[in-house]
Amino acid sequence: MLTCRALQICKTVETMKNTANGKVALQVVAGTAAQPVSGRQPPRRRPNKELRVREYLTSVEVETLITTAQKRGGRYGLRDALAIRMCWRHGLRVSELCALTWSHIDWPTQRLTIHRAKGSIDGTHPLSRAELKGLKALQAQQTGRHIFMNERGAPMTETGFRKTLATVGVAAGLALPIHPHMLRHSCGFYMADRSEDVRVMQDWLGHANVQNTVRYSQLAPGRLDKARAPG
């Protein structure tokens, strides 16, 4: 016997004529969509500005993260510190980081090819000495085509890096809750705060629209340091 709830659901559906492939199409009757039993709406996601004072880290804070990750020791200390450094230096999204393979590195020219996500523009970046040292050490410790691997020998996942970074952030004693995209923002603000050319920043971060780059210049922490304000 159908319950009242089941009868209510049945009333919201009308059977239409069979389609060409023999399947039956269903149409929901307007105005009868099922509502939550309690009548309550799901909790609203709090805006980032309510969770964090800012969405970027200073260079000192990022270096603290890298040092803390290194102190964890072992292969994963090296891996995590290098992942943080590369995310920051190249403004990588977490998906771009996890997708990196050894074929992305051109050892003779010491450059990294980056395949950007979300419709952004691919680029080729020079690797720093610290990165080259870390990459060579990491390559000597593992096998596989991906640069960043997990303990099961599979490519590091986005969720795995998010959890690792959050753990390192707590261990480092940073007041802000840390997430990977903050490293990309930190790269943009670092360059803007040093008056880097907007077009160079655009190419470095892979922005298809320069307006996405301009916001870093507009919000750069040191942009107004020399403003001739009263007081």
Write down how long the chain is. Answer: 231
Q: Does the domain spanning 59-178 belong to CATH 3.40.50.300? A: no
Rg (CA), the chain: 25
Rounded CA gap, 58 and 89, in Å? Answer: 13
Q: Which tokens sit at 95? A: 């998906």
The residues carrying an active-site annotation are 93, 118, 181, 184, 207, 216
Type of residue at 223: R
pTM: 0.76
- Taking only the tens place, the pLDDT of each residue in 181-211 is 999 999 999 999 999 999 999 999 999 999 9
- Taking only the tens place, the pLDDT of each residue in 108-164 is 999 999 999 999 999 999 999 999 999 999 999 888 999 999 989 999 999 999 999
